[in-house]
Amino acid sequence: MSIQSYLVVSALVFSIGAAGVLTRRNPLVVLLCLELMLNAANIALIAFSRMHGNGDGQVFAIIVMVVAACEVCIGLGMVVAIYRRRLPIDVDELRELAG
Amino acid sequence: MAEVFFFIAAAGALAGAIGVATLRNPFYCVLALVGHLVSLAALFLLLRAEFVAVAQVVVYAGAVMVLYVFVVAYVGAAEPARLRTPVGGGQRGLALAFALVLFVELCIAVLGSGLKALEGEGAPYVPGFGSPEQIGELLLTKFLLPFEIASFLLLIAAVGAVVLARRRGGILEEEQRVDAMRFLRPPGTGTMAEAAGGPTGTSAQRELEATTADNPAREPGW
């Protein structure tokens, strides 16, 4: 398959993830949709790596996976902290950062 | 043959993505994301990125998703009715329109770029492309600094998660400290200390336990 079709799949997944981030209210699902967007970037990186024939894009993809793991770590920690304080688990209700 | 595999994997990835964005139960969202990630690993294999595909399945679909499932089970899978209602106002329609515009714009950027290389299958395949050897060599030579920064980022994230999730205020009120000697020498075992202290036997044991539980200072001297 041509590189173009991989990039179109990547664009579709990115758009779906963006729509999910904007429409969902549960912070867990918002985090999942952020994962979708990061994965869309990964497809594009690996497709370009294949296009150029060197491994730089694959290293970038691995670094993106590290960043995604960090984001999951902090995001889920925040969700658990919100749950412990009996605050509403709803991204529309959580407006201030003051602890 | 590659086309067939591409369409199967791309359909799986898109179905998983749509499932993540639309399913109501967060458990099903996580399962849809697992399906999405596995389909994505198949796409990576088609692009000859073997190591990234394996890392995707092991690290992402394995470890990270298990973390998600744990937190969903902790917080509660059933969404409250308030969360189930769609976002108010015109936000939903606006978000969908934004996503559509974003997709069209990305497609224009990709297809309208006129790059000849985008229409080909990519550079000719050389053996060893995308293998663990190549990735490891790149990570430890050309990309050593990003590699070290990524390790620091992981450390910072781990410390941050511990700080976020720790229990505030030390030991809670209900937890009380228990003397280790009570496990070594439980009341009613007939020790010299009990004989000297007076009460012994099973009938007195309950009283002794009651008094020592209330006020450990009044325990007979041992």
User: Cβ of B94: how many Cβ atoms within 10 Å?
Assistant: 13
Pairwise CA distance, residues A84 & B167, whole Å:
9
Same structural domain for residues B191 and B145? no
User: Cβ of B133: how many Cβ atoms within 10 Å?
Assistant: 11
Residues 1-60 of B with CB under 8 A from A: 2-3, 6, 10, 13-14, 17-18, 20-22, 26, 29-30, 33, 36-37, 40, 43-44, 46-49, 51-52, 55-56, 59-60
Same structural domain for residues B56 and B136? yes
Q: Tally A–B CB contacts below 8 A.
A: 240
Q: Is A80 exposed, middle or buried (0-12, 13-18, 19+ CB in 10 A)?
A: middle
Taking the Cβ of residue A85 and every Cβ of chain B, the question of whether any pair is shorter than 8 Å is answered with: no
Inter-chain CB proximity A8 and B72 less than 8 Å: no
* Residue B93 within any structural domain of the chain: no
* Residue B2 within any structural domain of the chain: yes
> Secondary structure of chain A: what % helix, strand, coil (to 5)?
75, 0, 25
Same structural domain for residues B207 and B134? no
Q: How many domains does chain B contain in total? A: 2
* Residue B172 within any structural domain of the chain: no
Inter-chain CB proximity B95 and A22 less than 8 Å: yes
* Residue B122 within any structural domain of the chain: no
Same structural domain for residues B17 and B67? yes
Q: Which residue has the higher pLDDT, B83 or B218?
A: B83
Inter-chain CB proximity A72 and B68 less than 8 Å: yes
B82-96 residue pLDDT tens: 555 656 667 888 888
Residue B203, pLDDT > 50, answer: yes
Q: Which of B29, B44, B51 sits opposite A29 (nearest CB)?
A: B29
Pairwise CA distance, residues A66 & B156, whole Å:
12
Structural domain containing residue B210: 181-218
User: Cβ of B159: how many Cβ atoms within 10 Å?
Assistant: 11
The domain spanning residue B37 has which CATH number? 1.20.120.1200
Nearest chain A residue to B64 by CA: give it. A69
Inter-chain CB proximity B153 and A56 less than 8 Å: no
Residue B219, pLDDT > 60, answer: no
Identify the CATH class of A3-84. Answer: mainly alpha
Q: What is the ipTM of this complex?
A: 0.90
Q: Where are the domains of chain A?
A: 3-84
Calculate mean pLDDT across residues A24-39: 90
Question: How distant is the Cα of B100 from the closest Cα of chain A, in angstroms?
Answer: 7
Pairwise CA distance, residues A68 & B9, whole Å:
22
Same structural domain for residues B4 and B64? yes
Q: Note the Cα B131 to chain centre separation in Å.
A: 27
Same structural domain for residues B77 and B16? yes
* Residue B206 within any structural domain of the chain: yes
Question: How distant is the Cα of B171 from the closest Cα of chain A, in angstroms?
Answer: 16
DSSP letters of B109-163? HHHTT--GGGGS--SPP-TTTT-HHHHHHHHHTTTHHHHHHHHHHHHHHHHHHHH
CB contacts, 8 Å: B24 with chain A = none
Residues 168-187 of B with CB under 8 A from A: none
pTM assigned to the model: 0.77
Q: Which of B71, B87, B138 sits opposite A23 (nearest CB)?
A: B87
pLDDT of residue B222: 47
Taking the Cβ of residue A67 and every Cβ of chain B, the question of whether any pair is shorter than 8 Å is answered with: yes
State which H helix or E strand residue A40 sits in: helix A27-52
* Averaged confidence pLDDT in chain B: 80
Taking the Cβ of residue B156 and every Cβ of chain A, the question of whether any pair is shorter than 8 Å is answered with: yes
Residue A24 DSSP one-character state: -
Same structural domain for residues B186 and B144? no
* Residue B163 within any structural domain of the chain: no
B62-113 residue pLDDT tens: 888 998 998 888 887 555 655 556 566 678 888 889 999 999 998 888 888 7
Q: Which of B72, B100, B153 sits opposite A28 (nearest CB)?
A: B72
Calculate mean pLDDT across residues B132-141: 90
Pairwise CA distance, residues B107 & B113, whole Å:
10
Q: Which of B72, B92, B120 sits opposite A2 (nearest CB)?
A: B120
* Residue B214 within any structural domain of the chain: yes
Taking the Cβ of residue A81 and every Cβ of chain B, the question of whether any pair is shorter than 8 Å is answered with: yes
* Residue B156 within any structural domain of the chain: no
B45-59 residue pLDDT tens: 998 889 999 999 998
Same structural domain for residues B211 and B132? no
